[in-house]
Amino acid sequence: MSQVTAPLTENRRKFYQVGSFAVGNRLVPLDLLSFQSDADRPNALTSGHRACQGCGETLGARYVVDAALAAADGQLFAVNATGCLEVFSTPYPETSWQLPWLHSLFGNAPAVATGVAAALKARGDTTTRVLAQGGDGGTVDIGFGALSGMFERNDDVLYVCYDNEAYMNTGVQRSGATPPAARTATTQAVGPEPGNVFGQGKDVPRIAMAHDIPYVATATIADLRDLEYKVTKAMSMRGARYLHVLVPCPLGWGTISGETVQIARLATQCGLFPVYEAENGVVTASSKIRQRVSVEDYLKPQRRFAHLFKPRRQDVIDRLQAMADRNIERYDLLTGDDDGDPLPRTLAGQYATVPSGPTGETPEGVDTGAAAAMASATGQGELSRKKPFEEAAHLQLGRAPAGSARPTEGDPAVVENPDTVAIENTEGPEQ
């Protein structure tokens, strides 16, 4: 049963208000506009594709490729491993891509991208850049060896893994990135340890860091401005770069299509998916948790974890919570001493400023050197004072997590989905 929690007209009024940092807001100052809110955006992945409604991979890929295209001044070549992204966007002889795009095999996108980069080098072409993309299966499993080779040779490629935590295109089989206890077609919810095994998993961002490549970052589709920023930053560098993006899949996760972004946000806010950057093998920044939730808050809306609640498996939930707690400690994800980078950044590395809010000097803790370099790389403005962003409404799943405060009316930083409705989690797709 669906139940509207607030009059839709009221929510609509707030959606694009001045002061909101919703990534599509066109009313913010020009230098804060995201690529996607720019009418002249590259529009790399256009209409006509066949992705499921609410597909996180589509959203992520569109932002990644548009940002990469803009950073490369339109001179970009994409290589795409087999997987949902390739299948739903390129039913031969049609394509939704608006850039030179090459379909590789399931397991060799990094090698093909290396070849393209080598060919460009041989032709003396120093302006065309290379982007490789693959799903988690194509990246952490079958393409893993080729990817490690690409890292080890420091080939001039930005590789982006769209992690939906299983082999979705072929019917939701587990991958090396599937979380413990998750139900997939090959890890059924039966026996004393239902769902996927508790193992080490394959943490490819950390493995990439072990190669000491110039840039490694994680991101999610819950913070698209951060995703654009990281792509732009990666494109300002040469050599092997790796971006790992969490992209929830309504079909495989058993979630409601309208809640994809919120699910990704819960993954970061409980600590299970840490968002950070690393340069030359060293973590340089992590996105702080703004409104902490328990792992249970993240698991409950997902049918792939439904067996943990009927009957309740507190022992399994506790083990998953321990994984999140370990991430929080490892990446220093809780705010406090403000030694990291908890705030949204514009493409130029600026910190967001509410137009009516205070302005002034650069705050402590802001890397003005890196920000200025990014500003210069993107031709955008100077660093502005950062504005605490904690007031923003981040967890609009139609219900507030226990103990959390709802955003208040009139809050200038409120970012709300006009169609937010409270829906009991009984309508997600069957696996």
Ligand X SMILES: Cc1ncc(C[n+]2csc(CCOP(=O)(O)OP(=O)(O)O)c2C)c(N)n1
The DSSP-derived string for 195-218 is: SS--S----HHHHHHTTT-SEEEE
How far lies 116's CA from each of 52, 75, 243, 402, in Å? 31, 13, 19, 51
Which CB, 164 or 396, lies closer to Mg ion?
A: 164
Residue type, 121: K
How far lies 391's CA from each of 93, 297, 351, 410, in Å? 48, 20, 15, 11
Which CB, 164 or 384, lies closer to Mg ion?
A: 164
Closest to 54 measured CA to CA, from 249, 244, 265: 249
Interacting positions 152-191 with ligand SF4 (CB under 6 A): 164, 168
135, 176, 254, 271: residue in contact with ligand X (rule CB under 6 A): 135
Which CB, 98 or 431, lies closer to ligand SF4?
A: 431
User: Minimal distance in Å, beta carbon 101 to ligand SF4?
Assistant: 17
Number of residues in contact with ligand X under rule CB under 6 A: 18
Closest to 5 measured CA to CA, from 416, 301, 422, 426: 422
Select the binding partner of residue 286 from ligand SF4, Mg ion, ligand X, none (C-beta < 5 to 8 A, by kind). Answer: none
Query: How far is residue 49's CA from residue 305's CA, in Å, rounded to a whole number?
Result: 29
User: Minimal distance in Å, beta carbon 255 to ligand SF4?
Assistant: 9
Point out which residues pair with 236 in neighbouring strands.
none
User: Minimal distance in Å, beta carbon 47 to ligand SF4?
Assistant: 15
Q: Does 261 bind ligand SF4 (CB under 6 A)?
A: no
Which CB, 244 or 288, lies closer to ligand X?
A: 244
What would you report as the CA-atom Rg of the chain, rounded to the nearest whole angstrom? Answer: 21
Q: Does 249 bind ligand SF4 (CB under 6 A)?
A: yes
Query: How far is residue 227's CA from residue 225's CA, in Å, rounded to a whole number?
Result: 5
Q: Does 84 bind ligand SF4 (CB under 6 A)?
A: yes
Two structure tokens written together for 108 = 């060799």
Percent helix, strand, coil in the chain (nearest 5)? 30, 15, 55
Alpha helices in 72-143 (DSSP H): 84-89, 109-122, 136
Binding string to ligand SF4 for residues 277 to 306, with x set by CB under 6 A, is what? ------------------------------
Q: Does 136 bind ligand X (CB under 6 A)?
A: yes
User: Minimal distance in Å, beta carbon 174 to Mg ion?
Assistant: 10
Q: Does 245 bind ligand X (CB under 6 A)?
A: no
Which CB, 104 or 164, lies closer to ligand SF4?
A: 164
Residue 93, preceding bond cis, omega within 30 degrees?
A: yes
Select the binding partner of residue 250 from ligand SF4, ligand X, Mg ion, none (C-beta < 5 to 8 A, by kind). Answer: ligand SF4
Which CB, 181 or 397, lies closer to Mg ion?
A: 181
Query: Interacting stretch for ligand X, rule CB under 6 A, among 58-66, 79-87, 196-204, 222-230?
Result: 79-87
Q: Taking every pair of C-alpha atoms in the chain, what is the biggest distance, in angstroms?
A: 63
How far lies 305's CA from each of 84, 193, 313, 414, in Å? 22, 12, 10, 31
User: Minimal distance in Å, beta carbon 105 to ligand SF4?
Assistant: 19
Select the binding partner of residue 351 from ligand X, ligand SF4, Mg ion, none (C-beta < 5 to 8 A, by kind). Answer: none
Q: Does 45 bind ligand SF4 (CB under 6 A)?
A: no
User: Minimal distance in Å, beta carbon 176 to ligand X?
Assistant: 10
23, 57, 354, 414: residue in contact with ligand SF4 (rule CB under 6 A): 57
Query: How far is residue 279's CA from residue 422's CA, in Å, rounded to a whole number?
Result: 41
110, 176, 195, 252: residue in contact with ligand SF4 (rule CB under 6 A): 252
Alpha helices in 160-202 (DSSP H): none
How far lies 251's CA from each of 3, 55, 241, 431, in Å? 22, 8, 30, 7
11, 104, 133, 175: residue in contact with ligand X (rule CB under 6 A): 175
Q: Is the dihedral of CA 32, 36, 37, 43 positive or negative?
A: positive
Query: Interacting stretch for ligand SF4, rule CB under 6 A, among 39-47, 52-60, 119-127, 272-280?
Result: 52-60
Two structure tokens written together for 384 = 């502005």
Residue 311, preceding bond cis, omega within 30 degrees?
A: yes
**Where along the sequence are the contacts to ligand SF4 (CB under 6 A)?**
51-52, 55, 57, 84, 88, 164, 168, 249-252
**Where along the sequence are the contacts to ligand X (CB under 6 A)?**
57, 82-85, 106-107, 134-138, 164, 167-170, 175
